[in-house]
Amino acid sequence: MKITTTVLISLFIALGLACSALAEDAQPYFDPENLDVEISVGASMNDLDGEGSRVAEYDSTAEKNSNWIFDGRVSYFMDGGAIDAYGNYLDGDDQEYGANLDIFNRILLLQTDYLRFYHRLDHNNLNHLLASLARSGQGATLYHTDFNAMDDYGITRSEWKSEAKLNVPTFPGLSFAFNHRFEERKGMDQARTMSKCASCHVVGMSKAIDETTNELNPSVNLRIGPMTLNYDFLYRSFNSGSDVPENLYMEVQNPGLPAGNLDGFDSRVQFDNTNGSLPFSRTPESEKWSHKVKMKADLPGNTVNLNYVRSRATNTDSDDGAGALYGNYEDELAVDYWALNGGWHWKINKTMGFTLKGKYHDMDADEVTVDVVESISDGGAAGVGQTWADFLGTGFDFNRYSAYDEQEYALEAKFAWKLLQDLKLKFGYEVEYLDRENAEYHHVVDDTTSQEFSIGSHWRPMMGLKVSADYAFTYVDDPYEFHDAMCPSWEEAQALGFVPGTYSANSDYARYVYGVRTADRSNQPETVHDMRFKTHWMATGKINTNLHLHYKIAESDDLGGTDWEQDMFNGGVNVMYTPMTKLGINMGYNYFYDKYEAMFCSAFYNG
């Protein structure tokens, strides 16, 4: 915060000096002829048929029979400046306001905006969880409890953004800016968790949401001749006053044995077999800061830019003491990121241009050690006085290596050629290499290389008609895949010595369930064909027509027999008719179709 405070104080000192220097020359007065006021009043009749969270997700007035609509704008132009303010109000959870102020002929610019809306959220009744396998002699044993079945869920989100910019009159090309953003989320959401043995009991509870995000963003911009330099600092804090729901856990008991004989469940208890409550669905508080430095040079026939970014995001709630079950690791956990990117545009001649872009980024997150507190068997045929790990001669404690750790390299080249006066061609190539440093701990591919080849054209065959067509082909070598994602087939299970549905009651899931999965699965394509077509036609001076078509087919056939594919089409037409000045009639139609298929293993558990 020291850097932010220093820049902020310097900015206000500069504002004060500039305003005091110009105040003597300013002659503000009110002239009614420079005032423009617009006010509109309307009404809305509403009818909701269906689940509000699906058919009216962002409409706060949908459940009202009717509501008023107020809209207005006030503008005033003065000698050396202007002010403009607007507002829109539907109800308490749907309103928007803003204002812009220009002082001393754009030397000082002020802007502020406020937005508030309501977002309906779904309520999962958990009924679909009844789908589990019934073993011989018993029914399905996957249970669920919705503790707040009658609650409706939704979040009211409000955001206030402000910006102040000072163009220093005594130093042309130098400007200071300060941005502030404050966001607030309040309402009710559903939190879900499961029991600590086999996942035989899933519960849902209501969770009160009270979250705020505060963002401070000072910057300075300097232009000297062909050079432009910019420095941008960002500090963001996220604070949560939301409820932390807790679930009551009791010591696991084997229903087939007297109390105190726990051997039947030893292998299934995943952590801390004690009585008491444990928190779940926590949203940690966090902070983030970033530095951005940008440089741009406009040279004869060439443009060069170079950018550098460095940031750190920190979980400030993870240092309250040891206890992985509580999300505490005795230290604040952080993700560090830095990136370097640049570009070069070369205007070869009047008809040709070449663009080259490159990027590198590195992301690194803290590692944590998870200490699994296991139950000790006090009965049964074997293992008395031991944990299940002791009985197996192994341990279940582990280090969590972050999936964020990665390095990425990217290079892009484009060539544009104005072949004819009304015909322009574009060619492009892009390659990206992503190296996942901890892939082996997350059962995903180590690295991915993707290449894209593109070609496009812009054509003006006649006056008033513009046509553009683009095609891109993407090939991905080793797309993001989850290794060993499928439960074993009947034949594979027999080869391993058991059949699906008859796993040992005393087996540990990591070794005998997850450990025997086979085949890789992904929802990422290996090849993508992307085609786009657009037209813009001014049929007459009063009729304007636009047509757009987009078709994409993507697939991956390297997944062991169950391929992934996507088939998407989007098209539409829009006609604008302007019969007279200040009157326009707009008519449009849009069609969207998207289908994709993938197969994964959805495991269920016998509790």
SS3 46: coil
Average pLDDT rounded to a whole number, residues 44-71: 78
Task: Give percent above pLDDT 90 in the chain.
Answer: 50
Confidence of residue 46 (pLDDT cuts 50, 70, 90): confident
User: Mean pLDDT, the chain, as a whole number?
Assistant: 82
- Highest mean pLDDT range out of 25-29, 60-64, 332-336? 332-336
Q: How far apart are CA 547 and CA 591, in angstroms?
A: 12
Supply the pTM of this predicted model: 0.79
Burial zone of 525 (CB within 10 Å; 0-12 exposed, 13-18 middle, 19+ buried): buried
Q: Report pLDDT digits (tens) over 126-179.
A: 876 654 444 444 554 567 788 999 999 999 999 999 999 999 999 999 999 999
- Residue 537: pLDDT band (50, 70, 90) is very high
Q: Hey, what are 55's tokens?
A: 């058919």
User: How many CA atoms lie within 13 Å of 86's alpha carbon, on the beta-carbon side?
Assistant: 9
pLDDT over threshold 60, residue 423: yes
Handedness of CA 238, 112, 216, 179 (dihedral sign): positive
Inter-residue contact 221 to 175 (CB < 8 Å): yes
In this predicted structure, the answer to whether residue 237 has a pLDDT above a threshold of 50 is yes
Per-residue pLDDT of 372-391, as tens digits, reads 777 676 655 556 677 777 77
Tell me: the pLDDT tens digits for 71-100? Answer: 999 999 888 889 999 999 988 889 999 999
> What pLDDT shows up at residue 276?
74
Asked if pLDDT for residue 454 goes beyond 50, the answer is yes
Q: 3-state DSSP call for residue 526?
A: coil
**What pLDDT was estimated at residue 543?**
93
**Across residues 475-494, what is the average pLDDT?**
79
Q: Which of 12, 11, 19, 15 is nearest to 219 (CA)?
A: 11
Q: How would residue 230 be classed by pLDDT, with cut points 50, 70 and 90?
A: very high
Question: For position 330, what pLDDT does the model report?
Answer: 66
Confidence of residue 328 (pLDDT cuts 50, 70, 90): low
- Tell me the mean pLDDT in the region 196-220: 86
What's the confidence (pLDDT) of residue 503? 45
Q: What is the mean pLDDT of residues 508-521?
A: 66
pLDDT at 204 over 60: yes
The better pLDDT of the pair 67, 319 is held by 67
The answer to whether the Cα torsion of 13, 19, 21, 23 is positive or negative is negative
Backbone angles phi, psi at 262, to 5 degrees: -110, 10
Q: In terms of C-beta density within 10 A (0-12 exposed, 13-18 middle, 19 or more buried), how is residue 115 classed?
A: middle
Q: Tokens standing for 307? A: 């950018």
Where are any strands of DSSP class E within 366-481? Answer: 368-370, 398-400, 406-420, 423-436, 447-462, 465-477
> Quick one: pLDDT at residue 8?
39
Q: Where are the beta strands (DSSP E) in 241-316?
A: 246-249, 276-279, 286-299, 302-315
pLDDT band at 498 (very low <50, low <70, confident <90, very high): low
Choose between 29 and 582: higher pLDDT: 582
Tell me how far apart the alpha carbons of residues 474 and 433 are, in angstroms, rounded to a whole number: 13
Q: How confident is the model at residue 489, as a pLDDT? A: 66
Confidence (pLDDT) at 517: 73
Compute CA 573 distance to the chain's CA centroid, rounded to the nearest angstrom: 30
Average pLDDT rounded to a whole number, residues 243-257: 68
Q: Which of 316-320, 367-371, 474-478 has the lowest mean pLDDT?
A: 316-320
| Pairing of β 227-240 and β 201-224 | antiparallel
Give the Å distances, CA to CA, from 21 to 167, 168, 588: 14, 11, 54
